[in-house]
Amino acid sequence: MPVGRAPHRTIDQDPGAEVRLTMCEHATTADARFGVSRLEVDKPGLSYTVETLREVRSQSPSDELFLILGGDQAAALPAWHEPEEVLGLATVAVAERAEHRRAEIAEGVRSICGDDRAVFFEMPRIDVSSTLVRQRAAAGQPIRYLVPDKVANYIGAQSLYAASAPAGVGA
């Protein structure tokens, strides 16, 4: 689910919610286990995670919800809008990043709700971020293997992020 309008930051050269939605669709269409939601894109105003989780919960009250975050966002969770309710509605599933380690993130989550509402992916750390992808695309550098081929081709074909050269598969 791509964010509609983030309340906490602006993204340099943001192509807009509809373009981000299209990239999510390109990234997931080959795997029937995934789906893309327009919930935040269609919502007027700012997109707060707690409001999105409330809506998802109301649509599917018996589902167990997981909020997948990179370590940087998980570490910032105590500063989010209504973080206690976020953790009450969903378990946070975290992919660690170099600058934010498991112990720090777990302590931040415990400071909000007093228990372990964060789980960590048991996998090698892969330090790929959307910021890295945008920077490489803007510099005309290849982004193959950082995003699915269909997304890389779309970014190059649309010249997203001020890419001066195709940033897709062939690069």
Domain annotation covers residue 74: yes
Domain annotation covers residue 112: yes
Domain annotation covers residue 101: yes
What domain range includes position 99?
A: 66-126
Cβ 160 vs Cβ 15: under 8 Å: yes
pLDDT of residue 169: 53
Q: Which residues, including other chains, have CB under 8 Å from residue 35's CB and lie 6 or more apart?
A: 28
pLDDT of residue 37: 96
pLDDT of residue 100: 66
Cβ 82 vs Cβ 59: under 8 Å: no
Cβ 83 vs Cβ 46: under 8 Å: no
Quickly count: other Cβ atoms within 10 Å of residue 47's Cβ: 19
pLDDT of residue 126: 80
Domain annotation covers residue 102: yes
pLDDT of residue 42: 96
| Number of structural domains the chain divides into | 1
pLDDT of residue 144: 93
pLDDT of residue 164: 43
pLDDT of residue 171: 47
Strand ranges (E), 5-160: 66-70, 91-95, 118-120
Domain annotation covers residue 159: no
pLDDT of residue 150: 96
Tokens 């190059």 correspond to what residue? 156
| Average pLDDT along the chain, 171 residues, taken 10 residues at a time | 86 86 96 95 94 96 93 87 93 81 79 77 83 91 94 93 55 47
Q: What integer best gives the mean pLDDT of the chain? A: 87
Domain annotation covers residue 158: no
Q: What gap in Å lies between CA 2 and CA 22, rounded to an integer?
A: 9
Domain annotation covers residue 160: no
Domain annotation covers residue 84: yes
pLDDT of residue 80: 92
